[in-house]
Structure 1
């Protein structure tokens, strides 16, 4: 299963369309996970043209997302439990807030966004992953998103795809 992970698209303010390198990967996706700050319903509708889409709402999304998505979800994909949240809130770091959302849940992977800072590391037996942003890199050197490959009975394989131009 080929899963593309994105967050913090902030469209159309930060981009009018998806970057070409992202579109290439979206065409091969079996599933797209968005970790919030989509901004407009149009982003969701465009993503559904590539593959099924799931995700969570962020702190700057239109009411459509608050009405149709949750702050936190747990996905069961190919025998792997994956937690998704945006990571916004008060106090602590974005990373710590994301991890705390799933402190009482058995998950192997925690996906989050909000900070626009790509992150991939182990934490207390879990993988925590922020894809960064494909459209708003802020102070990062590159734009980015994530690619997750899942096979039944195999370990999770996840990595960033970095690129310079949107």
Structure 2
């Protein structure tokens, strides 16, 4: 069984100074860390490379030449028989399942980012589409988020969306009174 940690759109250091502590604490527990682009700085890539057992990442539209030189636009991996793909952008929400199923007919799961909006749907072909949201920039969402999941015998199981505590706008620190009751 493999434990996955999924994130996207970290936008460091523009949206936050560092990865949120709850997300950072998940790194040593994950067999595979997946980042669906918009890192913005190479330091975050360096950090995840040094702290992850295995890292699968792609560049996003906000990633410059240094990150584009180190990361692909699309990544593919076989995880214990699960055919996984990662890409940053998939286009508009309307028709996403159809478009992605046509573009990636050989995948079981596609992880994507860009919108900062958590997403978990399955195309009629069986392709599962996951967007973990953003752990640092919630945009129009109520919470910053990331995902975890398990791969067991070539099947994706136990997909969970994790809400992060809000940050104190004055200093970027997590607020102490947050309770995730979801």
Give the TM-score normalised by structure 1. 0.88
Is the contact made by 1:72 and 1:85 (CA closer than 8 Å) also made in structure 2?
yes
Distance in structure 2 (CA, Å) of the matches to 1:86 and 1:17: 21
Task: Tell me the CA shift for residue 41 of structure 1.
Answer: 0.6
RMSD: 2.0
SS of alignment partner, residue 156 of structure 1 = strand
Is the contact made by 2:149 and 2:158 (CA closer than 8 Å) also made in structure 1?
yes
Counterpart for residue 134 of structure 2: 133
SS of alignment partner, residue 24 of structure 2 = helix
Counterpart for residue 119 of structure 2: 119
SS of alignment partner, residue 114 of structure 2 = coil
Out of 73, 84, 87, the residue aligned to residue 85 of structure 1 is: 87
Counterpart for residue 18 of structure 1: 19
The 1:153–1:47 alpha-carbon spacing in structure 2 relative to 1, beyond 3 Å, is: closer
Task: Tell me the CA shift for residue 63 of structure 1.
Answer: 1.1
Residue deviations 1:137-157 (CA, integer Å, cap 9, x gap): 011001101112112254433
Counterpart for residue 109 of structure 1: 109
Is the contact made by 2:59 and 2:72 (CA closer than 8 Å) also made in structure 1?
yes
Is the contact made by 1:110 and 1:128 (CA closer than 8 Å) also made in structure 2?
yes
Is the contact made by 2:56 and 2:75 (CA closer than 8 Å) also made in structure 1?
no
- Give ranges in structure 1 of 5+ residues lacking alignment: none
Is the contact made by 1:87 and 1:94 (CA closer than 8 Å) also made in structure 2?
no
Task: Tell me the CA shift for residue 121 of structure 1.
Answer: 1.5
Residue deviations 1:79-121 (CA, integer Å, cap 9, x gap): 0001110016xxx505756863552531111110000000111
Counterpart for residue 172 of structure 2: none
User: How many residues align structurally?
Assistant: 163
Give the TM-score normalised by structure 2. 0.81
Is the contact made by 2:59 and 2:73 (CA closer than 8 Å) also made in structure 1?
yes
- Give ranges in structure 2 of 5+ residues lacking alignment: 168-182
The answer to whether 1:43 aligns with 2:47 is no
Larger Rg: 2
